[in-house]
Each structure stands twice: as structure tokens, then as C-alpha cells.
Chain A
């Protein structure tokens, strides 16, 4: 009977091992070779791919920097907007259910579709962004949004943010509904203002929800791939590459499987920084 749980777990473990664990280990193994992904022979190069990435591959550093910007933006913007929307929508005013659906709507779209929509919004000649600025007489603000290497990553992040607000909002709403109304009433009786009630009652009681939101948002930010692929293809001149997209391009487009899988190892390691505390927190809860 001691082995019964393992017997029940076995099918899932086998599938997980075959489709997740083995490819991960094999990718790590490939990162020590020079290989074009097709040739019968792989040449062992030790840690050379990692050295090349860190010392010779400029795009790797651009991608890492973009990932850091993306992560910071993801932790700050969608979570704040999500919390703000949740606080407003939790007050149960007339039509709040409709607004919940409207605000959550972008989250149900795939990032590829979101990318397509925003690519047209940013179109330099035919796009809504520049036409709107023109109509409002802010012509000086018009930009080639996705073509300017200095700013191109930010319009992509904005599009991703539009999609990413829904989930934190939903989680915060769920968290808010677990807070007993008596606590707010007691604080009100004690003379606490709206801001004080939020800071001393609501926010501390949302601690666990906030941690979960931050962990999920961070992991999603580091996983970002499809929206960049759809909107800029990593360009212009690789300025919007993320580690995930650069990994893809090196592996599949430029036949540098060793370098691509070395990025995969780096990319795998980064989310662990957020995933491990998240898992520990969840385990402790159980």
C-alpha cells in the first residue's frame, strides 16, 4: 500500500518525464555541442557556447536587458492596474459584472492575436495610434512605434500589458472577497479613512494573493515569446529580442542549436528565482 500513491502518479510522471523532463535535460546536454540541428555529428565544445553568449553575442545582452525591462514593467503595471480595477469592481455598483467581463476580455485573447491587433494600431501610416495623435493635434508625438530601435520594446510591452491586466484583476477580486466586511466596518468605526482602511486592512490581508500574482506575473513575463514574434519578429535589427525569441531564432533560423539551447538553460534558470518561493509558499499553505 506504501506504493499506491506512486502507482496512481505513474501515468502523469511518465508523460511529464517524456515531454518535459527529458527534452529539458537533452537541451542542457545539447548546449555543450556545436550542432546545426540536422547534421549527423555533434561537436563537443564544453562551455564554449556559454562563453560565446556572454562575451561575443551582443544580442544576448540586448535580450537579457529587454527581459529585465519586461519583468519590471510586468510587476509594476498590470499588477497595479489589476489591483485598482479589482478594488473598484469589488464595490458592487450597478453594472459591475459587465465591467468585470469587459476588463477581463483582453486576457481571453491569445498573445498572437493581441500582437496582430496592436501591430495594426502601431502601423506608421494606417495605424490608429498615429491617426489619433494627428486628430488630437499632437502630431509631434507621432512615432514609428515599432521601427524606432530606442523605443520599440515599450509599445510591445504596452500591448502585452493590455492582455495581462485581466488575470491579476481576477485574482485580486477573489482575494478581496475573502476579506470579512466586519473588519472594514470595525476600522470605519475606529475612524479610519478610505486610504487607511486599504493600507492597514485590505492590503495586509491580500498578502498571499499579492505574492501569487507577483509570482505568476514574473513567470509569465519571463515566458513572453509569442507577442514579440508576432509584432516585431525580434526587430528592428534584433532590438526587441527577448531571451525566448533569440533562443528560437538561433536554434531554428540560424542553425546554432548549441547557442540556442545554452540560452534555454539560462532562461530555465531565471524563472526558478520566482518559482521556488512561489512553490514553497504554496506548499506551506497546504
Chain B
């Protein structure tokens, strides 16, 4: 049996970013506007630019007030979980997809966007198909995608130029670049492994390289074994890179935000990140975004894929009708191309809205959008592709292997055991 996530990959793989879709507002079938004063409770990440969009929405619909409660990344996961168990969710909330959203979708907490709602709120016309496919769960849509976030290797051009290192196009190039950087006293990768998911990006990339897209997807679908030789090779390579000093000292306990200064101070030359660092880290640190070049992580595989995910707004299925309508209207409003284009400079990272491109002062995001348009596909990161119970085992095995308390074989076997335990109990 193939998991819904696996189906989402296949569908996403089949459809390119499809920015060729003509941007069209759902003007013929306008979404309903609640009468009277309505307050919508909305939970979102504090560092995301919601306020600009809320202000714009408030001006257009003065009878609707969006009350934004700000959370950090981990806080919002906890808040949604507790609130859903208590039956007190906000009318709308920001969420990721995959296994991070699945419990709310399966548990009936997130509103299913029926074909009628999809049409009524212009979702099918305004959102790029690839983002919709990444967001679908069991073939159904439970939210309106806002962003598509590819994650890949960034290199610091000035450092590469200084040591005469060419941009890595293949896996061998990447390894040669690492060796040369290390020989010149530069740490190849800046990484903050405190939460394990930043290290996981490299692990995922190595699995993509050694296992290839087909086996990688089968692993996510729990149809292949993590003890396969290809996965063991990937874990062995990760350990080899750690032992060679390709990651910064003590990276395993560093916060991801603490690792980026190493790049800014020319102590490290590469990092595995997403386009959000352009707005959240590089520009605020007065660094030149043109010096940080994202490359398609060279997995040497076909189809060409990088890790990535979509981010969406979900709606509480048990919200009062007017609040629910207003919440849907808000998400629909900010994802209409005209509005999204207006806010593109604040929006930053690749928008899921058709025909919306980053502003010229965002070279990183622009590059990544171009990849997606040219057919580069996305695979979900492990922490969204696998159930969270298995993610726990994956993180522990990965980190234990890095620390030397597990061999790569034992680490892979530990993950596979968690997969089998999960399958036996579900």
C-alpha cells in the first residue's frame, strides 16, 4: 500500500511548478463575505510577514478583524496540538504539510476544502498545481498553500573564488570542494544540529544521492528498508564527513541561527538552508545576498530533485460559520495574484501563488523560483514525510551515529525497527 505522501510526491513530480498557468482572479464566483462584525483568530509564525497582509485585508473588509497570535516554530506545533485535543483551535492557523498536518486532517480538525470551496475561493486558479499537490493528503485538500520552500546547499561565492573552487555541479565536485576548503582552514558546512532537522537535510540529500528518487520515495512510503545498503552508504558518508571535520565544531548542539554567523565571518563556506535566509538572516546581517549562491544539491540523480515543502493556512472545521467564511476569505484574499504581487517584497520566499515572482533585490529566491519553473522537483524532508513517532527514532539514530555511539548499520537498523513497530501498531 502506498502512503498518501508517496502519492503526493509522484503527483508533484509529474507536474512542474507550472507558473505558466495564467493568473486569474476568481471574479465570476466571488467568495461570500460575512455580514456584520467578525473577528477571526489566526495563529501564525512571528517572523513571517502576516501583519502587512492583515492590514491590507482589514482595509478591504473593514467588518472583519484578523487577530494574529504570534508563535515560534516549535510553539505553534504545540499550540495547535493542545488546542485540537481541547477542541479549541483557532479559526485559522499556519501549518506545514505532510505528517505535521496529517493528524489534524485525519482527526477531522482541519476543514476539508471540497471542490466547491476550492472553486468558490479561487484556490484552483490562484495556487500553482505543484503546491496544491504537495498539500494534498489522501487526495484531499485541507488548506490553502502560501509558500513553497525548496531547501538546498548555499555556497559563499567570495570564499569559493578566493580558493579557486568551482561551483559544485556533481557529488564528486562537492566532495572536492569540501576537501579543498578544509585544507585551507575553512569549515565546509555551517550547521546547527540542536533540533536535528538541520542535520537531517544533509542526511536526506545523501540518501537521495545514494538511494535515488525511487528508493527514497519507497522509504518514505515505508515500503523499503532503512537497512538497505544504499541508506547505510548514505549514513556512512555522513559520518565520514563529520569525522573529516566538514561540519563546524560542536554543530550537533548548536541552534541553527548560531551556525549562520560562521558563514558571515568567513569561517564556513556552505550551509543547507532554504530561501528564507535571504530575508531573515542575510539581509538583516548586512550581507550581500549575491554572495550566497544556492545550487541544486548535486545528488547526481534523475529526475533532478531538491528537498522542499509547502506552507499553508488551515481552517478549523468546527469554527462558527461566519468566522470560517472570514478565515477562508482572508486566505483567499492574500493568495490572489494582485495582492500577493503587491506584498511580494515582504513575502520573500517562493510564493505558491501563480505569476508571483520575487522582487529583483531577492536574487536567492529568484534563482530558486527559476529552478522550480524549469522542472526541478521536490521531495519532502524526512520530518514531514514520515510519521512523527518514526522521526523521533530517525533523529536519535542520526545523532547517535554522528556522536559515534552507533555504527551506520546500527543507526539504520534502529530506524527500520521504529518503522516496523509503527506499522505493527497502526
B103 engages A233 (CB within 8 Å): no
B283 sits at the interface (CB 8 A): no
Closest to B400 in A: A237
B400 engages A255 (CB within 8 Å): no
Minimum distance in angstroms from A41 CB to a CB of chain B: 9
B107 engages A38 (CB within 8 Å): yes
Which residues of the partner chain B approach A126 to less than 8 Å between Cβ atoms?
261
B262 engages A39 (CB within 8 Å): no
Minimum distance in angstroms from B171 CB to a CB of chain A: 27
B389 engages A254 (CB within 8 Å): yes
A271 sits at the interface (CB 8 A): no
A residues contacting the other copy or chain, number (CB 8 A): 32
Minimum distance in angstroms from B214 CB to a CB of chain A: 28
B253 engages A254 (CB within 8 Å): no
Given A235-B399, A252-B78, A39-B254 contact (CB < 8 Å): no
B396 sits at the interface (CB 8 A): yes
B210 sits at the interface (CB 8 A): no
- Within the assembled complex, what's the spacing in Å between the Cα atoms of A254 and B390? 8
Most B Cβ at <10 Å: residue of A59, A238, A256? A238
Closest to B105 in A: A38
Partner of A125, one of B107, B262, B389: B262
- Within the assembled complex, what's the spacing in Å between the Cα atoms of A36 and B388? 10
Closest to B196 in A: A235
A38 engages B194 (CB within 8 Å): no
A175 sits at the interface (CB 8 A): no
Q: Which residues of chain A (123-165) have a CB below 8 Å from chain B?
A: 123-126, 144-147, 149, 152
Interface string of A86-123 (1 = CB under 8 A from B): 00000000000000000000000000000000011001
Which residues of the partner chain A approach B261 to less than 8 Å between Cβ atoms?
126
Minimum distance in angstroms from B360 CB to a CB of chain A: 34
Partner of B81, one of A40, A119, A145, A252: A252
A125 engages B267 (CB within 8 Å): yes
B253 engages A144 (CB within 8 Å): yes
Most B Cβ at <10 Å: residue of A120, A123, A125, A146? A125
Minimum distance in angstroms from A235 CB to a CB of chain B: 6
Given A144-B253, A235-B252, A123-B388 contact (CB < 8 Å): no
A249 engages B405 (CB within 8 Å): no
B250 engages A146 (CB within 8 Å): yes
A255 engages B253 (CB within 8 Å): no
B253 engages A152 (CB within 8 Å): yes
B288 sits at the interface (CB 8 A): no
A149 engages B109 (CB within 8 Å): no
- Within the assembled complex, what's the spacing in Å between the Cα atoms of A256 and B194? 21
Q: Which residues of chain B (195-231) have a CB below 8 Å from chain A?
A: 195-196
Interface string of B265-277 (1 = CB under 8 A from A): 0010000000000
Which residues of the partner chain A approach B103 to less than 8 Å between Cβ atoms?
36-39, 255
Minimum distance in angstroms from A232 CB to a CB of chain B: 6
A233 engages B106 (CB within 8 Å): no
Minimum distance in angstroms from B158 CB to a CB of chain A: 20
Closest to A255 in B: B388
B420 sits at the interface (CB 8 A): no
Most B Cβ at <10 Å: residue of A37, A237, A238? A237
Besides the known contacts A125-B250, A235-B196, 13 further A-B residue pairs in the complex with CB atoms under 8 A apart? A38-B81, A38-B109, A39-B106, A39-B107, A40-B107, A123-B250, A126-B261, A235-B193, A237-B402, A238-B399, A252-B78, A252-B82, A256-B389
Residue pairs across A and B with Cβ atoms less than 8 A apart, 15 shown, are A36-B103, A38-B104, A38-B109, A59-B396, A119-B255, A119-B258, A123-B250, A124-B248, A144-B253, A233-B194, A237-B400, A237-B403, A237-B405, A252-B77, A253-B388
